[in-house]
Structure 1
Amino acid sequence: MHATTAPPEPGDTDVDLRGVRDARHDRLFRYALMACALLVLAALLGAAASTAWGGRLAFETFGLRFLWSEAWDAVNGDFGALVPIYGTVVTALIAMTIAVPVSFGIALFLTEVAPNWMRTPIASAIELLAGIPSIIFGMWGLFVFAPFLAEHVEPWVNDHLGAIPGVGALFQGPPLGIGMLTAGIVLAIMIIPYISSVMREVFLTVPTRLKESAYALGSTTWEVVWDIVLPYTRSAVIGGVFLGLGRALGETMAVTFVLGNAHQLSASLLMPSNSIASVIANEFTEAYTDLHRSSLIALGFLLFVVTFVVLAVAKLMLLRLARREGA
């Protein structure tokens, strides 16, 4: 007897063809997403490589001395990156010192304290503040905020905080209005919307039942925030903070207006200084020698390095927190 083959059920061929087609579309979709991710990585590596190649003349001429030299003499061809690096780091630290607690307070107020009718208008105002161009902040800082600091704030800071032993050198200086302190405050105002928006969205992800259970047990608002909200959102909050730090490190126009653009190394926060971004913005069109132009491009590469180090530290902190929470 010969085995008989059952006739195909109606529609089996269509189902198989649809399965093959779906699998092919799924592969194409996966490859498209991978291409998008690799495109971002390629753009980043390309920008870093191009700045490193463009700054090779400066690195070959000065070597490692380029990193810690204070000189910046376009006439004699002597350049160093210490002052721009110092100004970039100091202004970013001032900005984060101000912006992080303020953003934390804004996010907690909008999610835990503010009445419902107030939350949406304030959140919308914060998002609009994030959309203001940086040059507007720079002009406001130069023409409005800097004169106010020079007349009303910096004289008091110099007379009172400058007399404190140990830290007084940070607050001694003439009331110029422009300087690292002014730049740091303007940067803080610029990054507060980014950090507070991230924190607000993260705090909203905390399950309501957890908070209501804590309140039912007699916890205060601060105890709920400290014991429930922060542990639940700690990793995301740190990520938002470092996102704001990256924004502060790379800011150009606002810092150029209010930092003073003085190539000098000073311990006083009231004194003018320079940052990597402001030096590049001010001098790139005027660089008439290959060495000068290469030094500016080398500063751009160093900004890549500083930003990469900051983001790498953030990633390591997040991984350590995740490992601790998993344990």
Structure 2
Amino acid sequence: MSATTLPVHSTRDQRDARADRWFRYALGATVAFVLLALAGAALSMLWGGREALQSQGLAFFLSAEWNPVENRYGALAPIYGTVVTALIAMLLAVPVSFGIAVFLTEVAPRWMRGPVSAAIELLAGIPSIIYGMWGLFVLVPVMTAHVTPWLNDNLGTLPGLGILFQGPPLGIGVLTAGLVLAIMVVPFITSVMREVFLTVPTRLKESAYALGSTKWEVCWDIVLPYTRSAVIGGIFLGLGRALGETMAVAFVVGNSVRLTPSLLEPGTTIAALIANDFGEATETYRSALLLLGFVLFIVTFVVLSLARLMLARLARREGN
């Protein structure tokens, strides 16, 4: 019997080894495809922008002048607008997302958690153009009539930082774009925070409550440290979403390729400038827009790389 069963087991082992090897090759091929697609997209934009890079040189990245009539292109203004609108969005969205996530996991009654969580997740599925239209027809009039005059009168007179809040009551501008972006990224960050907060062992929280801790102390001293790495990852996920947003920003940012420190004046971002001008661009102008796309790729890559580096340092500090 052993003479007849050994070949059967040997054949099965060979078949399993062959299947495992092909499975490993298939997984490797998927990873290679993603890396090749990523590199191909970056290199194609860089190749398409070679004409603008040859004519402008490093001045393309350091100049704020954008004059298609004279073929002078500088990416500093759209880079500034991209970074500033994303930072405004994160400064507003992160505290709000943290509050919503804590409310859903620690404070809200059970009958409320499901519907509210579903509503927040549905917000993430709304097309960005809807956010842009809402910002243009609802948020901009509010900014024009109330927010911009108040900022001018109260914060615009501050020494130093007051220049950030001085500007005409147009309603459209960098600050408005940041507000719309904040509303857009809140569902993404909230969903991540809520899911990771639910992974905290119940015994840890109950032990803290038993020692007399308040809900705020439990959230700040128990829940947040336990999920710190995942929370930071969710924040940077929202930041990546804010950096690349196009249509919602194009509706409310003002689309002015001019470098100004004021948050109340019109500006632009890399994605909005490409979306607005690419259809009519020709020759060197199109090359400059493609090079801007490469710059956005690099900015996003740097931000996400910093996120990975920060998470790795946190993991080493925690002994993982």
Q: Using structure 1 for the length normalisation, give the TM-score.
A: 0.95
Instruction: Give how far 1:12 is off.
Output: 3.2
1:301 aligned residue (274, 294, 307): 294
Match of 2:213 in 1: 219
Query: Structure 1: how far apart are the matches of 2:111 and 2:9?
Result: 53
Q: CA deviation at 1:10?
A: 5.1
Task: Look up the match of 1:90.
Answer: 84
Using the size of structure 2 for normalisation, the TM-score is 0.97
Give the corresponding residue for 2:316.
323
Q: What residue in structure 1 maps to residue 188 of structure 2? A: 194
**Mapped pair 1:248 → 2:242:** yes
Partner of 1:138: 132
Instruction: Measure, in 1, the Cα distance between the counterparts of 2:43 and 2:148.
Output: 43
Equivalent residue, structure 2, for 1:61: 55
Q: Does 1:23 align with 2:17?
A: yes
Work out the CA distance in 1 between the residues paired with 2:225 and 2:214.
Answer: 16
Residue in 2 that maps onto 1:278: 272
Moved >6 Å (runs of 4+): none
Q: Give the match for residue 26 of structure 2.
A: 32
**1:164 is aligned to 2:158:** yes
Matched, 1:206 2:200: yes
2:2 aligned counterpart, secondary structure: coil
- The structural deviation recorded for 1:23 is 1.7
- Name 2:98's counterpart in structure 1: 104
Deviations 1:42-85 (A, max 9, x none): 11111001111111111111111101111111111111101000
Asked if 1:230 corresponds to 2:230, the answer is no
Per-residue deviation, residues 82-122 of structure 1 (Å, max 9, x unmatched): 10001000100000000011011111111111111110101
Task: Provide the rounded CA distance (Å) in 2 between the counterparts of 1:158 and 1:25.
Answer: 69
Quote the residue 1:149 is aligned against.
143
Structure 2, unpaired ranges of 5+: none
Larger radius of gyration: 1
Measured after TM superposition, the shift of residue 143 of structure 1 is: 1.1
Deviates more, 1:212-221 or 1:95-104: 212-221
1:200-253 CA-to-partner distances (Å, cap 9, x unmatched) read 111111111111111112221112112211111111110100000000000000
Query: What's 1:266 paired with?
Result: 260
- State the 1:13 CA deviation: 2.8
Task: Look up the SS of the partner of 1:176 in the other structure.
Answer: coil
Identity %: 68
Partner-residue secondary structure (3-state), 1:163: coil
Displacement of 1:172: 0.7
In structure 2, distance between residues paired with 1:51 and 1:194: 28
Deviates more, 1:95-104 or 1:36-45: 36-45
Q: Per-residue deviation at 1:39?
A: 1.3
What one-letter code is carried by the residue in structure 2 that aligns with 1:95? A
Structure 2: distance between partners of 1:71 and 1:259: 18
Residue 273 of structure 1: SS of its match in structure 2? coil
User: Offset of 1:15 from its aligned partner?
Assistant: 2.4
**Cα distance in structure 2, aligned partners of 1:74 and 1:139:** 28
Which residue among 283, 291, 302 is the counterpart of 2:284?
A: 291
Q: State the AA in 2 paired with 1:291.
A: T
Q: Distance in 2 between matches of 1:214 and 1:98?
A: 30
Unaligned runs of 5+ in 1: 1-6
Measured on the aligned residues, the alpha-carbon RMSD in Å equals 1.2
Q: Quick one: distance in 2 between partners of 1:127 and 1:114?
A: 17
Q: Separation in 2 of the partners of 1:236 and 1:162?
A: 38
